[in-house]
Amino acid sequence: MQLKYYRRSLVSIGVSLVLLIALWFSFHHKTSSSSNATVSTELALPATTSTTAAVKTAAGDKTDWHVRSIESGDNLASIFKKQHIPAAMLQTLLKNKLTKQYLTNLKPGQTLQLQIHNNALTRLNYEFSINQKLSIAMQDNKVNSKIITKPFSESLLLKSGTVRHSLADDAHNAGLTNNMIFELEKIFSGKINFNRNLHAGDKFRILHQEFYLDGQKVKPGHIMAAQIQTKNKLYTAIRYTTPAGVSGYYDIDGHGLQPMLLRAPVHYTRISSPYSLRRWHPILHTWRPHFGVDYAAPANTPIHAAGDGKVTFVGQGHGFGNMVMISHPNHWTTVYAHMRRFAKNLHTRQYVQKGQTIGYVGMTGLATGPHVHYEIRHLGLRLNPRTTKLPGDKPIPWKARKDFKKHEKILLAELDLLKNQG
């Protein structure tokens, strides 16, 4: 009886243990499964959803910048077509005066930047000069345009040298550009005959502007002061702008240095034929007067108006080929012949300013090489441009004399200071 009782007790205990173990395993399995599911949700699902949304947004809402260098033959319509920008956008742009002024005359080598959002133009930048650009922003189909200018920084630099062969060669060796040499000759052309008055040992010094952009040298500016020391005399030139805004070169007493007319209207390489009362014509093979000076220069070199005046003739001048005549005050006239082509839109009865481009060197008419035949006439007489006495520029206005002397003192001090440093 007792044995039977113990057996029943052991069975009850065994069953209870089995049930307890089963309950423990069941609880532990559920807890582990629940914990694993939570980790999976927090680490995997949110991250995957976010990345996918970003990719879809980038694919469906895209903004790009396109940079294009303008080539010959390019225009805004052809560029927009290649970028799949609607033609209606072009019409909207051209209704803006500032936009129309600059974007209808794109020039090769310049840069056009387009910002495109979902095939629609949102911004445009057109760099039309080294330090200027047209900036356009499109907003609600309206054009907001403005010109952005990056200011140049300026310094004054000294260049000097000694004449050993010719002013042109020695000035070039001293670091002067072709434009500086042309300007230097033009400044003193009324005082110095560079073919006769300069000799070996003569010295020259110039103080000129140099412009910088973002710390980089970009271009030289005007000659601000210059001196040429010959054996017998020191010539000095000071650049000054009058209160009326007119710039010119003056001696230390304020008298205009440059004659009313240029003795040479082009930056030439040599005189191919001088003024002469008897010259053998290389094409007609006969002796005849040559009432002008032939300045040889590379084809397409700009030809400048010798002085302020009114254009009286533009066209064919028989043996002179393409020719321009300009009438100047007090019955002075200048003639320019054998041009390759005329300046754009040049016409008779047009007023031009001294130094303005009126055409380009060529060899039209009776010519054996590219040059400009240049004449100066006064009261019907055809004079030698190299030697004839010409009326000078006006002196400094009396009211501006005090300001001029102050300006002159500063520039001469700079010239002397740089001379001592060199």
Closest among 239, 187, 206 to 407, alpha carbons compared: 239
Q: Is 13 helix (H, G, I), strand (E, B) or coil?
A: helix
Range of the domain at 281: 270-383
State the pLDDT at residue 109. 85
CATH of the domain at 285: 2.70.70.10
| Shared domain check, 276 and 353 | yes
Closest among 108, 45, 41 to 72, alpha carbons compared: 108
State the pLDDT at residue 323. 97
223 domain residue, yes or no: yes
State the pLDDT at residue 234. 92
User: Which of 149, 168, 201 is the last residue before a domain boundary?
Assistant: 149
Q: Global pTM? A: 0.58
| Shared domain check, 232 and 131 | no
| Shared domain check, 324 and 277 | yes
31 domain residue, yes or no: no
323 domain residue, yes or no: yes
Residue type, 397: P
| Shared domain check, 414 and 375 | no
| Tally of domains within the chain | 3
State the pLDDT at residue 356. 93
State the pLDDT at residue 128. 87
43 domain residue, yes or no: no
User: Which of 149, 172, 191 is the last residue before a domain boundary?
Assistant: 149
| Shared domain check, 142 and 68 | yes
| Shared domain check, 321 and 247 | no
| Shared domain check, 253 and 163 | yes
Residue type, 289: P
Contact 372, 295 (CB under 8 A): yes
| Shared domain check, 127 and 95 | yes
pLDDT of the chain, 422 residues: tens digit per residue? 444 444 555 445 555 555 555 555 554 444 444 433 333 223 232 333 222 232 333 445 566 788 888 888 888 888 888 888 888 888 888 888 888 888 888 888 888 899 988 878 889 999 888 889 999 998 888 889 999 999 999 888 899 999 998 888 899 999 998 889 988 988 887 788 776 778 899 999 999 999 998 888 888 889 999 999 998 899 999 999 988 888 889 999 998 888 889 989 998 888 999 998 888 778 778 888 999 999 999 999 999 999 999 999 999 988 899 999 999 999 999 999 999 999 999 999 999 998 899 999 999 998 889 999 999 999 989 999 988 888 877 788 889 999 999 999 999 998 887 566 55
CATH of the domain at 72: 3.10.450.350
357 domain residue, yes or no: yes
- Which residue is associated with the tokens 């002159």? 408
Please enumerate in sequence order all residues whose Cβ is within 8 A of that of 206, keeping only pairs 6 or more positions apart, or say none. Answer: 158, 159, 160, 176, 180, 184, 223, 225, 226, 227
32 domain residue, yes or no: no
Cα separation, 203 vs 198, in Å, equals 9
DSSP 281-330: -TTT-SEEEE-SEEEE--TT-EEE-SSSEEEEEEEE-GGG-EEEEEEEGG
